[in-house]
Amino acid sequence: MPGKLKAKIVAGRHLPVMDRASDLTDAFVEVKFGNTTFKTDVYPKSLNPQWNSEWFKFEVDDEDLQDEPLQITVLDHDTYSANDAIGKVYIDIDPLLSSEAATVISGWFPIYDTIHGIRGEINVLVKVDLFNDLNRFRQSSCGVKFFCTTSIPRCYRAALVHGFVEELVVNEDPEYQWIDRIRTPRASNEARQRLISLMSGELQRKIGLKVLEMGGNAVVGYLQCFDLEGESGLVVRAIGTACTLDKLIPGSASNTNTHPNTAPASNACNSPSKEIKEPVFSEDPTHPLSVPPTPLRTLPSSSSPPPFSPSKLCSRQSSSSDTDLSLTPKMGMGSGISVGKEAGPLKTLLRQQAQSALEQREFPFFTLTCFPPGFLVHIGGVVSARSVKLLDRIHNPALGNTRSYKLLDWNSVAADEPETRDAWWEEIRQEIKSHAKALGCHAVVGYSESTTIWYITHTILRPTSISSEEVCILSASGTAAMLNPRFMREGCLDAGGSDQRLSRQPPLGMVGSERAEGEVSSSWLGFDDASPPSCGFCHIPYDEFNMPFPAQLTYCYHCRRQKVPDVLFTTIDLPAEAAVTGKGCLIQARLCRTKKKAQGEVNATAISNLLPFMEYELHTQLMNKLKLRCMNALFGLRIQISVGENMLLGLASATGVYLSALPAPGGIQIAGKTPSDLSYDQHISTMQKRINDTIAMNKELYNIHPPECIEEVVGSPIPDRQRSRLFRSTSESSDELSELDLSHGKKDAFVLEIDDTDAVEDIQSLLTDAPMPAGFYSCNTEVMPGIYNWTSGLQMFTSVRVYRLNNANLTNQGLNKIFTDLCENLLKSLYFKLRSMIPCCLCHLNFTVAVPEEELIQVAVTAVAMSFDKETQLAADKALNKGSGENEEQLQFSMELCGESTSSNNQPTAKPSGLPESAMTHSSSRASSSERCSPLPEVRSRSLRSTRSLPCGAPVTVVKMTPLSFLPRTRIVKYLGIINMFFIRETTSLREEGGVSGFLHSFIAEVFAMVRAHVAALGGNAVVSYSMKECVFMENPNKNQAQCLINVSGDAVIFVRESDQEAIPPLITCGQTSTTGADGTT
Amino acid sequence: MSVELDVFVGNTTIMDEEVYQFWLDGYTVNDAVKVRMEGGVLEECEASAEVLRSDTMDQYRTFQMCERLLHSPAKLANQLLFQIPPHRQAMLIERYYTFDGVFVREVLGKKLSKGTKKDLDDVSAKTGVTLKSCRRQFDNFKRVFKVVEELKGPLVENIRQHFLLSDKLARDYAAIVFFANNRFETGKKKLHYLTFQDFAFCAGQLIIVHCNHSRVLMRPALIGKEFLQDLKELKILITDKDLLDQHKSLVCTALRGKTKAFNEMEANFKNLSRGLVNIAAKLTNTKDVRDFFIDLVEKFIEPCRSDKWTAGDMRLYLTHYTNSAHILDTFKHQVVWDRYMGVIKSCILKMYHD
């Protein structure tokens, strides 16, 4: 009995008029938790009632605390008839259960009704008194922190990364229960909302238990999804990465106890002044020094990199001090393993160690996409698996006589049910694991799972249709990788752990790195072939004489020591330390394929037959587009395949970049098969010219000016052929596993044969991609490589479009064209909408496609537009170009001192940071000017608060939202807990609400409002890692009805703004950094 | 292929001032798109007509959703649905309550009733302001009227606080409310040359003191209860023959040689004086109040204009006319006179133009 939940209902405002006669409302509130309900008094005749109730106290198990939401219902008292419900508020009290998150929930919540939307607001106070329960057999997992963020959260340090956790729970969908035929839509929606809330609470608790078992205290990269399987039920599943996180408390040596030797270092780096400076846009892989008593000790203060320094500077910097570091070999020794060392026998050694560390794990998967420096050793490539399943009605004896939608007790009932789904996923994960192994990797990072369900939706609105023939595609994908086992081993922590401040972007003012350490240890050990951090991850993990697929290998263009592939596809974010040339850009492959209408097994077979072709074509498209942009690597690759009644849609999105370590991509050549025809030749040459022009233009646009490389062909023993890193397989229920070789059997430049109609289509799609308007950049990863000087202006948005294909008999080409246009038009609209934010970058552009009905295509996008400072950017670009020029010269003589050469390479990048004042003032003026212009970015919250007071109390707290894990120019000081909300909205007066667009527009606005209100009530001012995971929209215009389900999630945080003065000191010190760096070189 | 659904929702509500104006002006989406295209946004941003249309639709929807909140502007600040920075909120409110001069001129002094609202299509046709915009403006007048009618305290301040309007706009609304309440006649042909701003200024002069319930108080300030009798007493200036002559000679002495229109002034003095004093006496009768402006024009402004007085002549004449009354030994109502003439003088000066 370890918890007491207390709630107080303070007041309401803007309530709807419930009594037509008086134009007023007699409101009262029911507060319900579990099976206990309390009521406030009726506050008669007011639209702004002041209940000021007593504290309602619920004494409950912590298990219930985790599962159940607090349910607040506002009603209108009616003496003669039944009381009318005004609306409800569900409050997830999970954030109150962790000591480090929120302590009280207090604020105005929108009162939500599934039929009418938001109807006024209610002010509520909630507290929890938790008694510690040390019972080992407890069912609860209070205190385990959850993060949606797919990197180590900003104010934490990962002591240990335990690995993959997953769980799923299944229940019958209330929408499909017999009782649904007699109850109101409102009751049905509410039952569903409540059930999902319960299920996600339960799921979180169960995952928490697993984490505790593993010895962790947090789940990072928590990804929860719903599968609305219609008749077959409702599945809520989640995956995540279990970690042990230590909170970094600025100014205190909180870690002293656990890691005695880190104390001074973490002290130094956590001193408040430094911590504050952390510029979010700096990508520096710096972290505290592990051993303070070295000559390097001065570094933390002297070598903080500039806020807009490109990633390389710092790591380079530290490695340039090799000589100093090597005086302290203890570090290398202490860690017990030589990190970053891949050559010869060491490679095998490393693999063995890593394997033993990971072997205990069933699935060495990590949902993280950003990693602490040193975590990622090598990347193999993308691994994915898909499986087509036929859903049958979940047979559950208990459901037959269950009349309530209470969560089933899985301990007593039908435990085999969730296991079916478990088995499906298990199968897929095994496949992924084996693919990774084939790539010579022992782990999968950037791992995610998704499902696409196709149901017959014609009669989706009540009365619910009885359809049983549903097909579901389960997909999983990730990036095969070699990881540094140190992060997963308890024993190594003492020595190695000390320097692992695993947050992705550690505060400025810390320097030294385990990268440095890795190199130190290597130099100390006498090896001269350490992998520098900026290219190490590109080096192949597999054996070059025994490659899993044909590939063209060259020596790394960065360190010239290790082999690298010519293209690299990954699902993770660009590592902070990666050396990149120019900027990146969003690359999308879009594909539409017709499919015969079918049912059941025939349908499933048809789909699974089409899948490999779709994947192949998507892959080809990606490759072409990548080359057209003169880039050689893809990050954040996400392939989505949706099923419709008569077509399949494939959408692959990724961010293309030019990795300096990889060879320059060859161009694209067009070849005709009948060269005799003259006019035909001409046609080909014009095409070729257009392509070449586009490539040249793109090089300019993305600022890609790679150093002219002396092509030393290292050639793999295998004939160089165009290869692909995409390892995929499709399996049906029958478990058939196939692996396709996606190689294109051509040499050198990519050759497209134009005789092939597919090729014509490919070229068309290549060239129809409209260029982005000037001042815009886009990517689907956390940040855009090549842009560092973000301003605080940002605008998160969601856009949804549904298109109707009017002519039913479309060819594949026709469909493709439509689908491509549709995506392009949507992007164009976004650019137009956000034009006032120029120069800006659309980050984390996340597209979701669906085929809700025959002839309908739905595309939903959530992203954030962030503006950056043009002038400093120009300076940075210039410096970079210059830098690459210098680098070229340097390369000639510094081949073996790779650390040094890279440091000089990066020195120029420090130059832009040399103009601190002008940069700063400019950016701040930009921020203020952007407030004036019309479609405005979000305004500083401070200025908002200080503006004129309006009569009705304090203005609403401004809550920023972003799909990224950070907010530029701010520092996250506290994580308040996970936000995971599910809403249903329905209408029976679609036309009156402005049609489908009006209906969805207000629903999305309402969802935003409810998320903001919850965050504000927790005391937060932002949501990071926000995502809209589900947006299921159904309409029946004939009945004037529509229904929509939205699921959103994110992390509620408190951020503080970095003031300009605070940001300047690191700039000054950065000057010193480069000096030190130079010293190191000479 | 057709777009069935198309929405864009930002965490901070995106609003384009230009589109907002089109919406307020009652443009249809198509018309707004047309005008925007001509405006050249397209070239600026490499967008297509389709993009523009989608953007316009989105914004129109947003404004429609906001409209409910704009009806009670204080709600806009603490509602949770739209995250709008305060200075944008102020802009939204101010623009929403801004009205067209030509439109308000048509309904000024009319009863803000359903009947008037029904006739708005005529007003729309006459003024060229779209019917939609006319309705919004009319409803705004009505809404403000309804709210301040129930309130105590100064009219302008009440409007400013309740509708969060700028001082200028609040004053204009006070004038509109004042005219509507007193049903001043403003539509006669003779009054056509007067603009809304002329009337608003006069209203500002007339509304001076407010104390109790505004239902009563929205009457002209000059009709305070204590004033009623006093205003009647002013009649002595025209009824008493001696007083009238004395007054005339004092004024003429002062004016002689100072203006070209002296002869006309001298000849018309008695008529003009009678006109002004009669207006004062008429004010005591509530029903006659509505003729205040027409009387002023017919009895005073028109005769002067036909005699080609300049604005300077007018000022000179009124100053001396007012001051000379103080020298009259038998005239005892100096305070009332000053107060009355102060208001009348500034009204006439404002109204005396072509």
pLDDT tens digits along B85-128: 999 999 999 999 999 989 999 888 888 888 888 889 999 999 99
> Do A936 and B9 lie within an 8 Å CB cutoff?
no
pLDDT digits (tens, 9 = 90+) for A205-222: 899 989 988 888 899 999
Supply the pLDDT for residue A677: 64
Torsion, Cα of B226, B232, B233, B235 (10° steps)? 160
Query: What does the pLDDT read at residue A578?
Result: 83
Verify whether the Cβ–Cβ distance A952 to B65 is below 8 Å. Answer: no
- Indicate yes or no: CB of A121 within 8 angstroms of CB of B50: no
Which tokens is B168 given?
Answer: 């200028």
Q: In chain A, what residues touch B161 (CB-CB under 8 Å)? A: 951
What is the C-alpha to C-alpha distance for residues A744 and A751, in angstroms, rounded to an integer? 9
Nearest-Cα distance to chain A for B140, in Å, is 20
Of the residues A111, A794, A824, A828, the best mutation for testing chain B's interface (the one with the most B CB atoms within 10 Å of its CB) is A828
Q: How far is A703 from chain B (nearest CA, A)?
A: 22
Both tokens assigned to A564 = 């690298």
CB B210 within 8 A of CB B155: yes
Q: Name the DSSP class of A1044.
A: E
Looking at chain B, which residue has its C-alpha nearest residue A835? B45
- Sheet containing A568-569, strands listed edge to edge, beginning at the edge strand earlier in sequence: A568-569, A633-643, A647-659, A580-594
* B79 touches A: beta carbon within 8 Å: yes
CB contact under 8 A, B17 and A958: no
Q: How many angstroms separate the CA atoms of A389 and A292, rounded?
A: 57
Q: What is the pTM of this model?
A: 0.80
Q: How far is A860 from chain B (nearest CA, A)?
A: 10
Chain B residue whose CA is closest to A1034: B5
Rg of the Cα atoms in chain A: 29
Name beta bridge partners: A730.
A386
Asked whether the beta carbons of residue A804 and residue B87 sit closer than 8 angstroms, the reply is: no
Q: Do B9 and A796 touch (CB under 8 A)?
A: no
Lowest mean per-residue pLDDT among A61-75, A234-248, A288-302, A560-574: A288-302
CB-CB neighbors (< 8 A) of A934 in chain B: 15-18
Contact residues, chain A, for B47 at CB < 8 Å? 828-829, 831-832
Asked if pLDDT for residue A1017 goes beyond 90, the answer is: yes
**Which helix (H) or strand (E) covers residue A1016, if one does?**
helix A995-1017
- The pair phi, psi for residue A849, each rounded to 5°, is -115, 150
Q: Could you say which residues from 85 to 104 on chain B have a Cβ atom under 8 Å away from some Cβ of chain A? A: 85-88
**Which of A933, A985, A1008, A1046 is the best mutation test for B, with the most CBs of B within 10 A?**
A1008
Q: Which of A364-368, A873-877, B249-253 has the lowest mean pLDDT?
A: A873-877
Provide, as residue numbers in chain B, all residues whose Cβ is less than 8 Å from the Cβ of A773.
45-46
The reply to whether residue B86 touches residue A950, judged by beta carbons under 8 angstroms, is yes
pLDDT tens, position by position, A323-349: 333 333 333 232 223 333 333 444 455
With an 8 Å Cβ cutoff, are B12 and A936 in contact?
A: yes
With a cut of 50, say whether residue A531 has pLDDT above it: yes
Q: What is the pLDDT of residue B103?
A: 92
Q: Which of B16, B55, B74 sits opposite A952 (nearest CB)?
A: B74
A952 contacts in chain B (CB < 8 Å): 74-75, 77-78
pLDDT for the residue A472 = 85
Contact A931 B87 (CB under 8 A): yes
Q: Which residue has 């238990």 as its token pair?
A: A209
What average pLDDT does range B163-179 have in this prediction? 91
pLDDT of residue A921: 38
Contact at CB, A801 and B3, closer than 8 angstroms: yes
- pLDDT (average), residues A63-75: 90
Contact list in B for residue A956 (CB cut-off 8 A) is 77-80, 83
Candidate from A796, A950, A994 with C-beta closest to B10: A796
Whether B172 has a pLDDT exceeding 70, the answer reads yes
* Yes or no, beta carbons of B78 and A955 under 8 Å apart: yes
Provide the number of CB pairs (under 8 Å) joining chain A to chain B.
177
What CA–CA distance (Å, rounded) separates A636 from A621? 16
Asked if the model's pLDDT at residue A411 lies above 80, the reply is no
H or E stretch at A845:
strand A840-850
Question: Across the beta sheet with A234-247, what order do the strands follow?
Answer: A145-146, A218-228, A234-247, A156-171
Residues 13-32 of B with CB under 8 A from A: 13-18
Distance CA A29, CA A50 (A): 11
Measured between CB atoms, which of A934, A937, A998 is closest to B61?
Answer: A998
For every residue of chain B, which 3-state class applies, written as one string?
CEEEEEEEEECCCCCCHHHHHHHHCCCCHHHHHHHHHHHCHHHHHCCCHHHHHHHHHHHHHHHHHHHHHHCCHHHHHHCCCCCCCHHHHHHHHHHHHCCCHHHHHHHCCCCCCHHHHHCHHHHHHHHCCCHHHHHHHHHHHHHHHHHHHCCECCHHHHHHHHHCCCHHHHHHHHHHHHHHHHCCCCCCHHHCCCCHHHHHHHHHHHCCCCCCEHHHHCCCHHHCHHHHHHHHHCCHHHHCHHHHHHHHHHHHHHHCCCCCCHHHHHHHHHHHHHHHHHHHHHHCCHHHHCCHHHHHHHHHHHHHHHCCCCHHHHHHHHHHHHHHHHHCCCCCCHHHHHHHHHHHHHHHHHHCCC
Chain B residues with CB inside 8 Å of A953's CB?
78
Q: Residue B49: closest CA among chain A residues belongs to which residue? A: A829
Q: Is B81 on the interface with A (CB under 8 A)?
A: yes
pLDDT computed for residue A772 by the predictor: 80
How far apart (Å, rounded) are the C-alpha atoms in residues A687 and A668?
Answer: 11
A799 and B18 within 8 Å at the Cβ level: the answer is no
CA B109 to chain centre: 9
d(CA A128, CA A140): 15
Q: Are strands A117-130 and A3-13 parallel, antiparallel or unpaired?
A: antiparallel
Q: For A237-282, write each residue's pLDDT tens digit.
A: 999 999 998 887 654 433 333 333 333 333 333 333 333 333 333 3
Please state the separation of Cα B97 from the chain's center in Å.
14
Q: Give which of B297, B302, B338, B294 is closest to B318, Cα–Cα.
A: B338
Residue of B nearest to A111 (CA): B80
Q: Is B193 on the interface with A (CB under 8 A)?
A: no
* Residue of B3, B4, B23, B56 to mutate when probing chain A, most A C-beta within 10 A: B4
Say yes or no for a CB contact (<8 Å) between B86 and A825.
Answer: no
Using a CB–CB cutoff of 8 Å, tell me whether B158 touches chain A: no
How far apart CA A416 and CA A422 sit, in angstroms, is 10
Q: What is the pLDDT of residue A674?
A: 59
The two three-digit tokens of residue B262, written as one number:
């002296």
Summarize pLDDT for A681-715 with one digit per residue, the tens.
777 777 788 888 888 888 888 877 766 544 444 44
Taking CA atoms, what residue in A is nearest to B12?
A938
Question: What ipTM does the predicted assembly reach?
Answer: 0.87
User: Is the distance from CB of A967 to CB of A795 less than 8 angstroms?
Assistant: no
Q: Determine the residue of chain B that is closest to A993 in CA distance.
A: B65
- Which of 39-68 (B) contact A at CB < 8 A? 44-48, 50-52, 54-55, 57-58, 61-62, 64-65
Contacts of A1004 in chain B (CB under 8 A): 7, 9
**Band of residue B225 on the pLDDT scale cut at 50, 70, 90:** low
pLDDT, position B222? 52
Per residue, the 3-state secondary structure of A390-428, as one string, reads: EECCCCCCCHHHCCCCCCCCCCCCCCHHHHHHHHHHHHH
Tokens representing B152? 């105590």
Looking at residue A418, its pLDDT comes to 58
Quick check: A364 and A442 in contact, CB under 8 A?
yes
Is residue A538 very low, low, confident or very high in pLDDT (cuts 50, 70, 90)?
confident
Question: CB of A702 within 8 A of CB of A630?
Answer: yes
B7 min Cα distance to partner chain A (Å): 5
B108 at interface of A, judged by CB pairs closer than 8 A: no
The partner residue sitting opposite B80, judged by closest CB among A833, A1004, A1012, is A1012
Residue of A nearest to B55 (CA): A833
Contact (CB<8Å) B15/A934 = yes
pLDDT higher than threshold 80 for residue B21: yes
Nearest residue to B298 (alpha-carbon basis) of B203, B222, B185 = B185
Mutate to test the interface with A, among B15, B43, B80 (most CBs of A within 10 A): B80
Tokens encoding A602 = 């025939």
Are B78 and A802 inside 8 Å of each other by CB? no
Decide if B77 and A955 are in contact by the 8 Å CB cutoff: yes
